Structure 1
Amino acid sequence: MKNELDLTKVLHAYETVISKGTPTEHGKMYEGVEAFSDYDGYSVYLRGNGVELKVGFHNTYHLDYDQEHLRDSFLKKVSMLAK
């Protein structure tokens, strides 16, 4: 996997989940991906299947996962949601 994520696609996926998803305790869920933001809206989160992606201020990000195959599967789903 390349070191950089296309954060524009990630943010498009976030918007897709927020606009089409069903409400959860923290945000919205769509196609197995939950999207939510922190209280000030500066950081947005996508999570699902044991993976969490945080996109912060100035397009920084942190990807938290235990297994690479889960990360890869999650990022494919995020890419699909961005279309």
Structure 2
Amino acid sequence: MNNRLTIREFLKVFDCIRTNGDKQDHKYHLGEINAWHDYDGYTCWLGYKDVTVTLMFHSSLKIEYDKASNYSDFIQQCLSLTHNNTSS
């Protein structure tokens, strides 16, 4: 299930949220997904409910979640964001 989106697609989601989302307390919010990064931008995170995706320098990726249903919902929202972002 983790292979449904690549790091490149997660980075597109991150950029979409950063570009179109609202910034509050060092995090960007778009819908139910949050995006944030460390001070130098080498590590970025996407968060949704109990799901956290860590995007690290040199294309490393770490996905953590407790409920598979939340991860599935998260992936669907990410796919929707990337689809809507590329079709406009």
Tell me which residue corresponds to 1:14.
Answer: 14
Tell me which residue corresponds to 2:86.
Answer: none
Q: Is the 8 A contact 2:55 2:62 kept in 1?
A: yes
Letter in 2 for 1:79: L
TM-score, normalised to structure 2, is: 0.84
Tell me which residue corresponds to 1:48.
Answer: 48
How far apart, in 2, do the equivalents of 1:2 and 1:50 lie? Answer: 15
TM-score, normalised to structure 1, is: 0.88
Q: Report which structure shows greater RCO (CA 8 Å, sep ≥6).
A: 1
Root mean square deviation of aligned Cα: 1.5
Q: Specify every segment of 5 or more residues in structure 1 that has no aligned partner in the other structure, as ranges.
A: none
Q: Which ranges of 4 or more aligned residues in structure 1 deviate by more than 3 Å?
A: 2-5
SS for the counterpart of 2:80 is helix
Q: Specify every segment of 5 or more residues in structure 2 that has no aligned partner in the other structure, as ranges.
A: 84-88
Tell me which residue corresponds to 1:66.
Answer: 66
Q: CA deviation at 1:57?
A: 1.0
Letter in 2 for 1:68: A
Q: What percentage of residue pairs aligned between the two structures are identical?
A: 24
Q: CA deviation at 1:9?
A: 1.2
Higher helix share: 2
Q: Give the total of aligned pairs.
A: 83
How far apart, in 2, do the equivalents of 1:65 and 1:15 lie? Answer: 22
